[in-house]
Structure 1
């Protein structure tokens, strides 16, 4: 049930209401990190959230990623760009998905599902001539955060990439996590891990800590048991894109298990 009371209340019981603010606009993809929020609409126009407004950024991208490593993007030809000042500067290489949430390093996947990363030195260099390092594992999606990187394979099974460091972004291997099929992930600077299932459900990885970066289990969250196509997370807020492009900003303390 959806009630409009200045915010949207998603959930069955009053004591368990999930309060999500409706954000004006329509997007197909969103990325929040380091206090920044960027998004892309169906026309591949790029927007930046500032003072509760969407401001258009020049350029056409299919995907944008914001985080400690800066703001990065992929254009329709799978070229890689880094935002430097107000300009998109092309960086050597080709990817279909990119993430800037790690400790100032970047990770992404190619159209062949090969996984690559940029060490901290290259990610922050400002140079276009950088070295994409093979991670050695085949993923369709990769996301990094405080405790390392996560990947999703072609069977939608999740994995944790072990031994990742800012200047050893490829890590030392990977460990299958499983437990819930997902098609995308977001990892926060605080270590929190969220994902979307193939049916558009929102999941949280329970038990993630510095000493147990893989956590213990996946828990589905009741966001009105609605269907979403994209999510991001930063500084205690989930950003969710509904199937029709509507944008929701939800406070994490309101999350509770979906029955």
Structure 2
């Protein structure tokens, strides 16, 4: 796999612009999903094993057979192949009440996620901070259906089952109430991720990577979609502290800098 990865990246440098410099990231065979936040990076592989990045090496976390992991202001969370919810507490995964297929910890101390019926939920900051491995949680049902959901400092972004993109400009951490959803036109996405600085990246249904440029606190919707050239199809993306992490459909992790 290492030889194939090196060959593909040579083709990348020949075929695309150098606005982004991409290289093979720390090796993780058959990566499936990756998430970066607050200076930390976590990932899963196709066998639903989960990892934490330390330096240039991946370290296996205690396995709960997780298919999606996330890290951010509210800590490290994940969902299992059975859609159980877990929080990383004192060195191990503690099961929390509820059921989700995708989860995001990028909001201001609150958690959001999507269940198998594409219903969306939010967990208030009092629960995210207070949960230490025991007791039940009270998830707030949100009035929209999505297949992917991610939050940052300037609001939350989501993708519905028709691959349309939406933004809600504000979520109240203590109540999970939001300002309503606005459709962001231009692309059909399969997933979208918001960085801890508000930067937004998405992967289209055809596996292309785009950044939503022009985002600011006064303009959380940004101005336009800008393509991030890649020479292979991608399935997942995450961004934090100037580093763009991308997972290809073949399971290769790329690390890109601007």
Structure 1 length-normalised TM: 0.90
Q: Which moved more, 1:48-57 or 1:121-130?
A: 121-130
Work out whether 1:234 is the aligned partner of 2:240. Answer: yes
Counting only pairs closer than 5 Å after superposition, residues 214-253 of structure 1 correspond to structure 2 as 214-224=221-231, 226-251=232-257, 253=258
Counting only pairs closer than 5 Å after superposition, residues 13-162 of structure 1 correspond to structure 2 as 16=18, 18-22=20-24, 23-26=26-29, 27-59=31-63, 60-127=65-132, 128-162=135-169
Structure 1 residues 212, 46: closer, same or farther in 2, change over 3 A?
same
Distance 2:143 2:96 in 1: 21
Distance 1:186 1:8 in 2: 27
Distance 1:8 1:194 in 2: 24
CA contact (8 A) 1:9 1:19 kept: no
Root mean square deviation, CA, Å: 2.0
Distance 1:15 1:234 in 2: 22
Structure 1 residues 215, 28: closer, same or farther in 2, change over 3 A?
same
Distance 1:47 1:74 in 2: 14
Shift in Å, 1:120:
1.1
Shift in Å, 1:104:
1.1
Work out whether 1:189 is the aligned partner of 2:196. Answer: yes
Distance 1:146 1:17 in 2: 25
1:100-127 Cα offsets, whole Å, 9 max, x none, are: 0111110001111001001111111125
Provide structure 1 residue ranges, at least 5 long, that are not aligned to the other structure.
254-259
CA contact (8 A) 1:115 1:139 kept: yes
Q: Secondary structure at the match of 1:179?
A: coil
CA contact (8 A) 1:194 1:203 kept: yes
Work out whether 1:168 is the aligned partner of 2:175. Answer: yes
Provide structure 2 residue ranges, at least 5 long, that are not aligned to the other structure.
none
1:38-83 Cα offsets, whole Å, 9 max, x none, are: 1111111111110211111111111101111110000111000000
CA contact (8 A) 1:3 1:9 kept: no
1:203-251 Cα offsets, whole Å, 9 max, x none, are: 1001110001011111111123x21111111111111111111111111
